[in-house]
Amino acid sequence: MHLKGIYPIVPTPFLDQGEIDYPSIERLVEFMAQKGVHGLAILGALGEGHKLTDQERTEVIAQYRKLLPKGMGLVVGVRAPATNPAMTMVHRARELGADAILLGPHNVQKDAPLLEYYNQVSDAAQIPCIIHDYPAVTGISMTVALISRIFEISANIHYIKLEDPPTGMKMQALAETAGPGLKIFGALGGMYALEELELGAVGIMTGFVYAELLVQLFELVQNHQLKQAAEHFYDFLPLNRWEFQPGIGVSLRKQVLKQLGVFSTAKVRHPGPDADPKTVAQLFRIVAHLRGKGYPLAM
């Protein structure tokens, strides 16, 4: 499957005691499908994938695959501290119907083991894989030279989710070294989505709840309406900024989804800080501002 467009990274809903909230998953799929997104990415950093048991991962992947409308792609996040567990995880995700794997690095900051890891795990996946380049969360930095080499030798590495700022400079460097074959997804809350799309990103893969704004941005850029795209982006950028707050971003998005009636709770599995009510109210003040400018956003 060729990935292109807006792929929200979605949080995993939990009940108050920490169990998976499957009815909320069903509402979330419908909620995002109505926004016109092109697919969903699950069990990434925002999806608290590292906090789920193997059985829970299996059940969650199967639930999303069952619920996603035809034509919407399913990207499954995988990250493990060692190569063999990661190979098992990608194999299982493929069996359950994943269209692609968002593949985070292991924990060893050395080029040779990273190269071997991405090559071996992507081979095991047998479906397209996306390098997850997010050193602020993974603790692993990957140079342009290393990424280009991974892409060169790994038949199933087709994409990178680039979250190593300044993203624009790294995108341009990758275009020179890896060439156009390595497709790039912008991320980082959509903070640089306009510039990334202008530079040739095939889409945006991030946890922004109001994903319809990114869909509109993507369509404007695709239609070469760059002036309108810039005006649109500059309108909603403060909302990106507020949602994408380090530490509380997962909780904040869950609080928003709860208030919108999508999630039954805003539970974040421990350890994980909760967004305070004042911070949530300040977010909806931005939403109210955008509604006043004519954006039909839910509150």
AA letter at 21:
D
Number of alpha carbons in the 13 Å side-chain half-sphere of residue 131? 32
In a domain, residue 255? The reply is no
In a domain, residue 286? The reply is no
In a domain, residue 287? The reply is no
In a domain, residue 293? The reply is no
In a domain, residue 33? The reply is yes
Residue 1 has pLDDT above 90, yes or no: no
Is residue 134 very low, low, confident or very high in pLDDT (cuts 50, 70, 90)? very high
Distance of CA 55 to the CA centre of its chain: 22
Number of domains the chain is built from: 1
Q: Average pLDDT of 121-133?
A: 98
In a domain, residue 259? The reply is no
At 77, which CATH number?
Answer: 3.20.20.70
In a domain, residue 288? The reply is no
What does the pLDDT look like over 148-180, one tens digit per residue? Answer: 999 999 999 999 999 999 999 999 999 999 999
pLDDT of 41 reads 98
Residue 80 has pLDDT above 90, yes or no: yes
Cα gap 299→297, rounded to integer Å: 7
Q: What is the pTM of this model?
A: 0.96
In a domain, residue 60? The reply is yes
Q: In this structure, how many other beta carbons lie within 10 angstroms of the beta carbon of residue 2?
A: 10
Cα gap 31→131, rounded to integer Å: 27
Give residue 50's domain range.
Answer: 5-223
Is residue 137 very low, low, confident or very high in pLDDT (cuts 50, 70, 90)? very high
